[in-house]
Chain A
Amino acid sequence: MSIIVKDIKKGFSGTEILKGISFEFEPGKTNLIIGQSGSGKSVLTKCIVGLYEVDEGQVIYGGENFSAMNKSERKQIRTQIGMLFQGSALFDSYSVEENVMFPLTMFSDMSKEEMLDRVNFCLERVELENKNHLYPSEISGGMQKRVAIARAIALNPKYLFCDEPNSGLDPKTSIVIDNLIHDLTKEYNITTVVITHDMNSVMEIGENIMYIHEGHNWWTGNKHSIVTTDNEEIGNFVYASSFMKQLRGKLS
């Protein structure tokens, strides 16, 4: 089911960060939010999941107006949301296994064995077998990201949000994480929203892209149209490095 945002506005103490953003995030696709640092990508995502209240506009999950819901109605939607935070946000007093099991303990009626099966399945899916009893501080950043993905998919979410899933990771690990997110999206027909400013990710998994600039939805498209667009801003963003500029010269 899709997520539609309609004319979202959000500011903090006078300064408007989002000045009216509309977009449709499509199911079964990796939808990308791109833009420069500080452009409001994280703020937009937090508005969509309800961590921030929007000043104006609506967020609609599968036809239901999330913005107008009360707490308990929102909870129904939230149990269908998985989210990967910029810094993983694993519970550091819990082991890997307990982290992934946490949403199951809270929101499912599974028995202990069923939960353990599900946890192991999710950990296998992110290629982290036999790491169950390690703690977040004992594993690498890339592994933490993967545990966080496992935790996010534990309850079979309909919606998956990933805030910079590969920031701080080497290019090779980044691609692995990107592909993992992409595959999960296809496998379970999830509506996935990925925030990134990494061009590699854009080219790898950019099926439906929205570019935020100056608080507006400046440009939309996909990984094919982004390289051919003559939009000045996008051009500066895509071909930011001298390497990419040279490449562009060769291409044209």
Chain B
Amino acid sequence: MNLFEHIGRFILMIGSAFKKPEKWKVLWKNFIHEINSIGISSLSIVALLSLFMGAVMVIQTASNIDSVLIPDYTVGFATRQSMILEFSSTMICLILAGKVGSNIASEIGTMRLTEQIDALEVMGVNSINHLVLPKILASLFIFPFIVLISMGLGLIGGGLIGTQAGIITLEKYIMGLQYYFEPFSITYSLFKTLFFAFFIATIPSYFGYYVNPSGGALEVGKSGTKSVVASSMVILLINLIITYFMLL
């Protein structure tokens, strides 16, 4: 299959996913379950990454500024900009594309392999709707919160290292954080995140759902790798496009 055939089948899958569910109650139950397995279970890694990245950014910025003309609070300003604009949305989503993506691909791929998807279809259940829609909705719902948490923790991490290591005083750091702050930057970041979330849920679902069952576990493993590569590329591309149109 070439790229265009994949895209065509992907779009058809999305169409199928957004059909009216058999039972709203079942969708709700699956939605809650997915929020847990996609979102809540990723919180600790996101927290850790954000704290450390914020801290490193403060050190990096401080060590690269040795001109007296540049004020101290620039450290806070630069950290805020990098965290909010790129790290907490794009980087965190790239990392979660790996973690969440391989999870989703292997879960759905295994269901294909063990005929669980066939079992759903024979019962009369729209398997794409049943399996993929809750993942899409849960991702769209939970990812903005994850990104907001990452922003907050990143700035806290930076503040902690900055003050503890004597790089900057708390007042100056906070002043930097507030310097020329535009709430729009958060809107921009969350807007991007919605797109990322959509593809982090759907691309791995696609590769898992259409795994070749005669290839066995090997093929399921490959579908995980493919989906991580594909969703990372899509995230980078979308990031470029959205940034171009929203910030330029």
A and B interact physically: yes
Contacting A at CB under 8 A, from B114-131, are 114-116, 118-119, 121-125
| Known contacts A105-B23, A106-B23; A78/B114 CB under 8 A | no
Assembled-state Cα–Cα distance A106/B25 (Å): 9
Contacting B at CB under 8 A, from A55-107, are 74-75, 78-79, 81, 83, 85-87, 89-92, 102-103, 105-107
Contact B116 A89 (CB under 8 A): yes
Our count of residue pairs bridging A and B at CB distance below 8 angstroms stands at 52
Contact B119 A106 (CB under 8 A): no
Residue picked from A83, A86, A161, most chain B C-beta under 10 Å: A83
Smallest CB separation, A74 vs chain B (Å): 8
Assembled-state Cα–Cα distance A86/B121 (Å): 15
How extensive is the interface on chain A, given as a class? 20 to 34
* Secondary structure type dominating chain A contacts: mixed
Contact B124 A75 (CB under 8 A): yes
**8 Å CB contact of A87 from B26, B114, B121, B124:** B114
Smallest CB separation, B241 vs chain A (Å): 36
| Known contacts A105-B23, A106-B22, A106-B26; A85/B115 CB under 8 A | yes
Assembled-state Cα–Cα distance A89/B116 (Å): 5
Contact B123 A103 (CB under 8 A): yes
| Known contacts A106-B22, A106-B26; A51/B122 CB under 8 A | yes
| Known contacts A105-B23, A105-B26, A106-B26; A81/B122 CB under 8 A | yes
Judged by a CB distance under 8 angstroms, whether A49 is at the interface is yes
Task: Name the CB-closest residue of A to B124.
Answer: A78
Contact B125 A106 (CB under 8 A): yes
Smallest CB separation, B127 vs chain A (Å): 11
For B116, what are the chain A residues with a Cβ–Cβ distance below 8 Å? 89-92
For A83, what are the chain B residues with a Cβ–Cβ distance below 8 Å? 119, 122-123
Assembled-state Cα–Cα distance A174/B116 (Å): 23
Contact A79 B119 (CB under 8 A): no
Contact A106 B123 (CB under 8 A): yes
Contact A85 B118 (CB under 8 A): yes
**8 Å CB contact of A49 from B22, B23, B122, B125:** B122
Contact A89 B123 (CB under 8 A): no
Smallest CB separation, A240 vs chain B (Å): 26
**8 Å CB contact of A107 from B111, B122, B124:** B124
Task: Name the CB-closest residue of A to B122.
Answer: A83
Residue picked from B121, B122, B125, most chain A C-beta under 10 Å: B122
12 further A-B pairs in the complex, CB-CB below 8 A; given A46-B118, A83-B123: A51-B118, A51-B122, A74-B124, A79-B123, A79-B124, A83-B119, A85-B119, A86-B115, A90-B116, A92-B114, A102-B123, A103-B123
A residues in contact (CB < 8 Å) with B? 46, 49-51, 74-75, 78-79, 81, 83, 85-87, 89-92, 102-103, 105-107, 161
List 29 contacting pairs A-B, 8 Å CB cutoff, sorted by A. Answer: A46-B118, A50-B122, A75-B124, A78-B121, A78-B123, A79-B123, A79-B124, A81-B122, A83-B119, A83-B122, A83-B123, A85-B119, A87-B114, A89-B116, A89-B119, A91-B111, A91-B116, A92-B114, A92-B116, A103-B123, A105-B23, A105-B26, A106-B23, A106-B26, A106-B123, A106-B124, A106-B125, A107-B123, A161-B122
